Structure 1
């Protein structure tokens, strides 16, 4: 049957077949196109077209055809009837719209619309209504194109001359009067206009107000032509407190990595491959999405040089831009005649009337039985490194570094046990810049701030200062210190620029490296602190209940948390659980919400990426399962991801090898058939600290501060594959870097390997064994035997029969 099409809000084409509307999933070979039902992401309705003819459609929709729904009834007889509308436009700035219900008129789609006709009509409507608010614009597109009504097409053209206030008034009155119900429902039903897991934020007014501030002499010493909004806080944290979520406030984008740049005419947002799909869904029409890492995407500096006139000033809050980024961007801008300037008052904060206050949660001590060393022992080691560099002071600004050094933890940032503070270590004293009200009695005693006995000349006295005094103290310290001051070049520009270059050391600091290399106690704690028992219980429950009751992404995540809360030393999640079914799993950092909460079914893939903060360690694990019968393509993709995981887990490499050198080990099985993924393969993990811990990692991206892999480091091993609109696959374990016993030792380098410390079965039903080598099958069987021995013992000791039985079933040998 010949295809019928309508235009979509995004400028694409949707298929209409037997009253149902389908959005395109992907292009296949030889003119084949795959489509899915657009009304409901849980709807199993699918169609395939070949050369603009419907080849097949399964017609397994969980709702009536759209024509019936638009008319508010499930009666098939009423599907033939619709609503007729007549509209007239009054003088400039006013509009009169009347609705006449006519049982003989029909809102049904025309019987046949050729692609070229749709595109031509769509382009005409889009050009005529380019300045209209979204609902008006898309309503007119729908009525002009889909209904075939020539009068409505003329009306769409005339609407283009209305002023913006009149249009807004028209849109409001249309909503109040309940007019155009069919067209409005058309908009809300179209899933490729709706975010997978979040609402679109209209940012037009906010961006306009920010541009006004950029020109205001009250807030900037001289007008600026562009303003930069990073996603980080004053400590350059990846995950931030609500009060620092300026990027989300101004753009609506909720990813953990991004930078907005707003000029007087344009607004652009840069993010990496983890968030491409998410950003597409969350950014409204005011924004350009810049996909970092994709060939042809300009850097922020390149783009600014292109869109700004020479002599332009680019502003940024100097407290939330790292010094090294300032240097690089400033150099780029100067080369094209522009300048980067500090704006002391954050302009977003001026707009954010209900900005939350800085958290003031309690800071609590971490016992040496978990930390492996006292904070005093750590300070002595750090000072030895300072002497080697002839540094008289060390300034710590990263929150996890301060928490690690002083064996303290907090809860100022969700999922990360850190607290807002700065720390300055000199050869004689320690200064902790933290608000006094956060220090509970146990913490005061731990730091000897409660007047408990300590030798005053030991050099281990801590002086507590108010958090906000760090800038004043650093200015004073520069004038007092005779030696050099050690501060990371990733600290904020405001802090680093206070120290003259001749007195500045910006190498990676000793705390950064020591924190990354776990001591024997920390390693033993991290071995204990895994979620294996809870996850075995969870997947056993999921398999049992999937066909008996309605399980959603949110209810599944909540159930998993129930199981984890029963484990010793449980504190909370280490990040929001990524509980993603079917096409949602293709969004790398998907997060279910009440508004977008998909039901789990046995007919598609389910991806669960989850982690926990225990007092004796931090976990991060991903498993991908299929509770029904996977397709051959799903099995091939899954098998290749597992092969890559095994490749990396089995690697042997020289001491101090950069993680970048190992990344291709995990990608090769995918590369072999032209597949890949848009995220790093591994990241460092803290010990009851941040789940993403720098500076080590395994990624194609070069990191200048990567010290190289060393024994005692713990990282994730997490290759994946994502088919947009269909499924996502990721397998993630934590691995410990250990010394390898090799036959030779060329250059006396010492060689290293990974020991996998996460022990949860990898589903074998999703594997295609014909793609596995004997060595890979042997690795899987050995891994699963270890799961049986270690986790099986724990499950039996805790009396968790269901989890134990599931574990034994899922770890049957392949070989």
Structure 2
């Protein structure tokens, strides 16, 4: 069911809550305090209890942090949120462009003499604190209680949803085999796991602790013999005991820190994701710093998971095609708003009778709202679908066999020449990623420029990555793979990524086109030198907006690719829709 995305905080509440936090800082002897968008598991997504940044400042984005001093406060946001933050935070907070401006540099300018920098050690990784200590020699970094929790009187309770089993016919590998495989490669006697999606993948379990993401909140320790201790809230894991078997012991989450203190020998942690507090509890054991052993195997989907992804995307495509056909008929009559569109799209997905949840809050922006990269419609921001305007819809579904994420930009009425030119350049970038072949060892940072080149040639660009990893009935944003300037991880077979270039003009319009792709072995190419290469298989089959394609800008190869893509879409999805939708799809997929 559609939810109105009313912020837990708003600009009017900002000054009062900021003043209360500053009073707590004075009482605690803290000169500066950091409020990240993070929880004890260091994942991207947080439960309502842990939405401290949003509660304090009103900022609802998925990344960022706030730093509070007595005379100033900054909200650090990246390029995705520089329009959004202006509408969500009060004037008492100054938006800071990050990562261009680093926290350490901002603090040194704001308080040259240094002072006490307070932080919650659950909410910052080992690496993060180590880098801050090195960069801020004049500051005393002091771990302590979370000062926001002291003033948040109606803070929600911790999540208490029970865990569930992800069956073998969807996981593709028994969790005993996973545990044995990872344990054999450990460089230590034990390994601490704090990321919920890592624990979910390793043990073939899922949860409902985070909205839209079927992950179980808890902690785990993997031992060299393949055994695991799973620490979770009372009763959360009781229903999966038989699935876990005798080699996985269930423990209360309150036992986690005492267990860490008692570990001996060598203990592996991932300094990029392990909370600073966890490392400080390993008083006896010798720490080994290495990547979370689940991250790369989880990202490389097995054949069963890829088959599930294909099935989920075809099922989701049926819902999307029905939605686009409905929108094409309904929008010209007028009267539709962004909220109406979100409700309709979710209804089409639910009619698949397989939807577990949407995979994130649907982004549906009309006209200038589409220029807000991660826009979330609310009752206050809801716009009617203007004629001769663009509508950007970014959405996805959580199905037990796969997670989907798709963006389509639709012309309502007659698009302008500027709309068509920009859309076509974005589409050319998406096609470039779709068609590319590349040697093993290539990472996302090598491919990112391909998607931007058509825009760069016209003096344009976009301020977000081109693609992120996607889980298998897990988080819609999954590492370590990506397609961006910062993504150094080599791409491997089985990795699922988004392919989503865009273009945005603040106050006017926004364009994004997104398919999901899976990395695969490239077929032999006549005339090549036999080099072992990779390519992408496109999972998403939903037509593009023909009214926005300027065919004259396309090369012959690009036109051929679009025609093949549309022919494949008609073949895959056409037999699964009703007659009226099929007729719409035939027209939408006709050769250019």
Preserved contact between residue 315 and residue 341 of structure 1 (Cα < 8 Å): yes
Residue number among 418, 425, 437 corresponding to 2:235 in the alignment: 437
Aligned to 2:3: none
Residue number among 171, 176, 179 corresponding to 1:371 in the alignment: 171
Aligned to 2:31: 225
1:353 aligns to 2:131 (yes or no): no
Structure 1 counterpart SS, 2:324: helix
1:381 aligns to 2:184 (yes or no): no
Preserved contact between residue 788 and residue 811 of structure 1 (Cα < 8 Å): yes
Deviation of residue 374 (structure 1)? 1.3
Give the distance between the partners of 1:598 and 1:427, measured in 2 at CA.
Answer: 56
Preserved contact between residue 322 and residue 492 of structure 1 (Cα < 8 Å): yes
Aligned positions of 1:718-797 closer than 5 A: 718-740=500-522, 741-742=524-525, 750-795=532-577
What TM-score does the superposition give when structure 1 sets the normalisation length?
Answer: 0.70
Post-superposition Cα deviations, 1:706-743, rounded to whole Å, max 9, x if no partner, equal 53100110000000000111110000000010111345
Aligned to 2:23: 212
Aligned to 2:120: 317
Preserved contact between residue 658 and residue 707 of structure 1 (Cα < 8 Å): yes
Aligned to 2:408: 623
Residue number among 392, 397, 419 corresponding to 2:189 in the alignment: 392
Give the distance between the partners of 2:74 and 2:252, measured in 1 at CA.
Answer: 37
Deviation of residue 627 (structure 1)? 2.8
Deviation of residue 250 (structure 1)? 1.0
Deviation of residue 264 (structure 1)? 1.4
Preserved contact between residue 192 and residue 267 of structure 2 (Cα < 8 Å): no
Structure 2 counterpart SS, 1:546: helix
Deviation of residue 201 (structure 1)? 3.4
Deviation of residue 212 (structure 1)? 1.4
Give the distance between the partners of 1:292 and 1:484, measured in 2 at CA.
Answer: 34
Post-superposition Cα deviations, 1:148-185, rounded to whole Å, max 9, x if no partner, equal xxxxxxxxxxxxxxxxxxxxxxxxxxxxxxxxxxxxxx
Moved more, 766-775 or 466-475: 466-475
Preserved contact between residue 556 and residue 579 of structure 1 (Cα < 8 Å): yes
Deviation of residue 744 (structure 1)? 7.7
Deviation of residue 507 (structure 1)? 1.9
What TM-score does the superposition give when structure 2 sets the normalisation length?
Answer: 0.95
Give the distance between the partners of 1:489 and 1:718, measured in 2 at CA.
Answer: 26
Aligned to 1:707: 489
Post-superposition Cα deviations, 1:82-101, rounded to whole Å, max 9, x if no partner, equal xxxxxxxxxxxxxxxxxxxx
| Alignment gaps of 5+ in structure 2 | 1-5
Structure 1 counterpart SS, 2:510: strand
Post-superposition Cα deviations, 1:581-632, rounded to whole Å, max 9, x if no partner, equal 1111001011111222111133211111000000110000000010311101
Preserved contact between residue 274 and residue 678 of structure 1 (Cα < 8 Å): yes
For these two proteins, the number of residue pairs brought into alignment is 583
Aligned to 1:202: 13
Give the distance between the partners of 2:546 and 2:459, measured in 1 at CA.
Answer: 23
Aligned to 2:362: 577
Preserved contact between residue 242 and residue 356 of structure 1 (Cα < 8 Å): yes
Deviation of residue 197 (structure 1)? 13
Structure 2 counterpart SS, 1:436: coil
Preserved contact between residue 655 and residue 749 of structure 1 (Cα < 8 Å): no
Give the distance between the partners of 1:777 and 1:649, measured in 2 at CA.
Answer: 13
Give the distance between the partners of 1:580 and 1:338, measured in 2 at CA.
Answer: 43
Deviation of residue 196 (structure 1)? 12
Give the distance between the partners of 2:326 and 2:339, measured in 1 at CA.
Answer: 15
Deviation of residue 568 (structure 1)? 4.4
Give the distance between the partners of 1:639 and 1:692, measured in 2 at CA.
Answer: 26
Aligned to 1:179: none
- Greater C-alpha Rg: 1
Post-superposition Cα deviations, 1:424-454, rounded to whole Å, max 9, x if no partner, equal 011233100012321353x122123xxxxxx
Structure 2 counterpart SS, 1:625: strand
1:565 aligns to 2:350 (yes or no): yes
Aligned to 1:470: 256
Preserved contact between residue 198 and residue 593 of structure 1 (Cα < 8 Å): no
Deviation of residue 569 (structure 1)? 2.6
Give the distance between the partners of 1:508 and 1:806, measured in 2 at CA.
Answer: 49
Residue number among 298, 313, 321 corresponding to 2:101 in the alignment: 298
Q: Which has the higher contact order (CA 8 A, sep 6+)?
A: 2
Aligned to 1:279: 85
Moved more, 532-541 or 565-574: 565-574
**Structure-2 change in CA distance of 1:347 and 1:733 (3 Å):** same
Post-superposition Cα deviations, 1:40-90, rounded to whole Å, max 9, x if no partner, equal xxxxxxxxxxxxxxxxxxxxxxxxxxxxxxxxxxxxxxxxxxxxxxxxxxx
1:514 aligns to 2:297 (yes or no): yes
Aligned to 1:663: 448
Aligned to 2:69: 263
**Structure-2 change in CA distance of 1:594 and 1:519 (3 Å):** same
**Structure-2 change in CA distance of 1:434 and 1:742 (3 Å):** same
Aligned to 1:326: 129
Aligned to 1:342: 143
Structure 2 counterpart SS, 1:437: coil
Preserved contact between residue 8 and residue 58 of structure 2 (Cα < 8 Å): no
Preserved contact between residue 261 and residue 283 of structure 2 (Cα < 8 Å): no
Aligned to 1:810: 588
Give the distance between the partners of 1:330 and 1:488, measured in 2 at CA.
Answer: 15
1:252 aligns to 2:52 (yes or no): no
Aligned to 1:504: 287
Structure 1 counterpart SS, 2:268: strand
Give the distance between the partners of 1:749 and 1:498, measured in 2 at CA.
Answer: 49
Structure 2 counterpart SS, 1:535: helix
Give the distance between the partners of 1:257 and 1:594, measured in 2 at CA.
Answer: 23
Give the distance between the partners of 2:254 and 2:268, measured in 1 at CA.
Answer: 20
What is the Cα-based RMSD across aligned positions, in Å?
1.9
Deviation of residue 765 (structure 1)? 1.2
Structure 2 counterpart SS, 1:662: helix
Preserved contact between residue 712 and residue 738 of structure 1 (Cα < 8 Å): yes
Give the distance between the partners of 2:255 and 2:85, measured in 1 at CA.
Answer: 37
